[in-house]
Structure 1
Amino acid sequence: MNSALLELAQVGIHFGALKAVDGVDLTIAPGERCAILGPNGAGKTTLFNAITGMIPASCGRVALAGADITRMAPNLRAARGIARTFQITNLFFGLSAEDNLLLAARGLGRTKFSLFGAGRARDDERQRVADALDKCHLHQRRSQLVKELSYGEQRQLELAMSLTSAPRLLLLDEPAAGLSPAERGVMADVIRGLPRSLSVILIEHDIDLALGLVDRVVCMYQGRVLVEGTPSEIRRNPQVQEIYLGRPRHA
């Protein structure tokens, strides 16, 4: 029996002659924490787009819990348990944190269009919102307008919104980007505290932060997987050191 939650087999995304993602194989187990590292242009976010369906794969296969989702629309993948955050925060700044989460909680349900009416939130929606606020350390800020939150709290809120759909797989695209050292610490605590029933794939340019949060690391370069291993193995890998630090002049 196949126990993998996510499987990518020779997945590629091509823009004409440019192979932004070039034959990537990747397997994520239930509950696994995995970081995808690499310099700008390595294909990390494009790979996320292939997983979520925002950009259809040019070739290869994407499977979730054994089911082929390669040609499935993004909303159907979300309904099957894939959630993500983005590099750029996208929130409703004139609404409260709680109302942003309620919108997200209803987004995959049949009653989502009742947002334009006077429909009241169901008990299960309220519970999912409360759980997401607690997990992301925002319970005390639930009534605040988003525009009154700090940037770090807005990033926490975006993560909380992704949790309201009760996903099985969460993709975090640079969750600590633009945060102060103190805010990065809070974000790390939030990610570290996520339940182990949830698989997480993390893109992050702060290597020390990323390596402290995951079980396994995949390093990409020019659209391909260059190397993968444990955080300690990646720290010692000379290829990874060369990509991030450059080749020594005496080499």
Structure 2
Amino acid sequence: MSGDAEGATSPQVKFIRDSAAEADFFGRPDRVGSHDRVAKACASVISTNDDLKVIGLLGPWGSGKSTVVRLIQRELKADETLQTHVFCYDAWLHQSDPPRRAFLETLLQFLIDHDLTTQDRWQTQLDILNRQIEDTTTTATPSLTAAGRLLLLSLVCLPFGMQFIGHDWFEAAFKANSVGFAKYGFWFGLSLLVVPPFLALLTYLWWRPRWNPLSPEFRSWDNWRTHKPPHQDESLLSIFVNK
């Protein structure tokens, strides 16, 4: 028993790799195989038709689609007039990864390996894709300041003032026999029109850092160009709309 056990042959296990074949095993010396015919046809269309965008290979699992792709790659490389790059993406290998991100990362690495692009050029986009950089959008809603509200209210004076500066009111203001409101209506309307710019001028003067007319700083350009806190970062237009 011990001798038979020692002389027994150990079982050998052979594994078949699930990879594309390098040659069409369905062909014969006197006939080109079906996979070769499909590959040659696809390679011919790719090399001669510039308008071609997509070629679909449909077939069940194990029918030889990957082998046809490998044969197409061989045919394209054999054509010295073409410069082609074949990128193969294994969806099974990345089936647990986000599909769009995994595809783009694999494609980018392929382009970098073949010196078709650089890592630095796409690093920012990759960081955004991997959510290492967040792109945020800030929306500022305009709001009226206190001075802006006052000036907005003063604009109500404009339509009333326009009613008293016409030709008739102007003549009545300078006639010797004009009496009552007719004599002063034109000046009243003109004063109403001056209210908004007058308030804007007062606001501008109120923002001056220095008020002493005798000091050299009061007459300096910086005193009229900058504003006192908390308005130092604001412009005169910000009294209307504060952004």
Q: Which TM bucket (shorter chain)?
A: under 0.3
Which of the pair is proportionally richer in strand? 1
Please say which structure displays the higher CA radius of gyration: 2
Under a length normalisation based on structure 1, what TM-score does the superposition of the two structures give?
Answer: 0.27
> Could you say which structure has the higher helix fraction?
2
